[in-house]
A and B are shown apart, each in its own frame.
Chain A
């Protein structure tokens, strides 16, 4: 009850099990416990909690994780929609 959650089924997070070597770094860096390591492979157990910060992708040594990471702030997105380059917050 009263849990802070954003939309369901909206994030771009993908994990390629073939490339995964099960190092578990994604599970360490994720601030929302999206990943766990099961049978020596990363498994997304809470994909909808992903906030697309990109920590898992950046720290994955085999490039198994992809996510459209970026600043989800209003000004950055308005700049993007208008095709402008500009600073965010």
Chain B
């Protein structure tokens, strides 16, 4: 057993060590005045804040907001050690990230159990993404074990770490420097109860990350909001220029000339950020940019036919320009969804981007030029 000595960070001895942040490893327990803390549990090292499994309206309201990309950068809990229920020195220690959504879903999953939850400072990012960035990592884990004096709170030397945290930390280094043995838990939280009841054994199925419809669905609002944040500039450009260059009063010209390409942008956003994620397995192609473009093509004809714009008295370059705009936008956002997917690789995405971005660029530039020509000559 090798409990880190107070006041000296074990990070110092790591070859991969990053700069030691100020105050790292100094004894500290999380504040008890956070809104989700129910009470405190007395331990050898002090009063550890305790939480329950029940989520309240204000927790769920917070989840709703971050799902819509509102306040997502500040949805955090204070890092450190928490008690779920009334754990003892023998209770399991589960490690997680300080994204409040993650923390909340974890405690909700462990209803009726008494465990310690060690929250790492991941700057409010979920476990998997934080592991990719290295903030859910070996150094932070060693610091947090020491800062929480975990070795004095529990009598065993075992940590349960989410499997998706593995890109950030090395189990053998935690063992070597802190004396704690890391057991990688299941990929999905919902399998945790079974994992705990089976003596920390995960089945082969629990180790695989899938990307089912339900998981893709919950991502849609954030994807949509981010798409609109980028697309709004393009829409403003079309409305403004359409109003200035077209014939007649500004508002009327903006409406006649600017509305169809703006709709084309919105169709691209919807196809790339909603249709592509939802129908991902069923859209042909492996490249997300291709899937995005195919969705864009289909949604474009549905929307422009149904809205009656296609039947109106617009010239063919105008119609073609809208199509190009939709294809470029939907392909771009389809491609961007690789970042949220669970099975694309860095080298794969880089390869895809190097091929797709020139096509998307040409598409949007050609679309804008054709549109400008159609407005000018119309």
Q: Hey, which bits of chain A sit against chain B, CB under 8 A?
A: 2-7, 10-12, 25, 28-33, 49-55, 58-59, 61, 68-75, 77-78, 80-81, 88-89
Contact = CB atoms under 8 A, between A and B. Distances in A.
Contacts of B168: 58
Interface stretch (B48-56, B88-96, B243-251, B335-343): B335-343
B166 A55 contact: yes
Contacts of A4: 210-211, 280-281, 341, 343
B133 A77 contact: no
12 contacts: A4-B281, A4-B343, A7-B352, A31-B207, A52-B345, A53-B166, A54-B132, A69-B167, A70-B346, A72-B344, A73-B339, A78-B353
Given A53-B166, A74-B335, A78-B353, 10 more contacts: A11-B347, A28-B163, A31-B207, A31-B208, A54-B132, A59-B166, A71-B132, A72-B344, A72-B346, A77-B349
A2 B347 contact: no
Interface stretch (B169-177, B308-316, B366-374): B169-177
B207 A28 contact: yes
B129 A89 contact: yes
Contact of A31 (B187, B286, B287, B353): B187
B343 A25 contact: no
Given A10-B351, A33-B208, A72 B133 contact: no
B350 interface: yes
Contacts of A33: 204, 207-208
Given A28-B184, A55-B167, A6 B129 contact: no
A53 B347 contact: no
B293 to A, nearest CB: 16
B282 A2 contact: yes
B343 A72 contact: no
> Chain A: interface secondary structure?
loop
Name the interface size band of chain B.
35 or more
A7 B286 contact: yes
A15 B327 CA distance: 40
A89 B342 contact: no
A58 B207 contact: no
A55 B341 CA distance: 17
Contact of B166 (A29, A70, A73): A29
A50 B345 contact: yes
A55 B209 CA distance: 13
A58 B354 CA distance: 28
Contacts of A30: 207
Contact of B348 (A6, A32, A71): A6
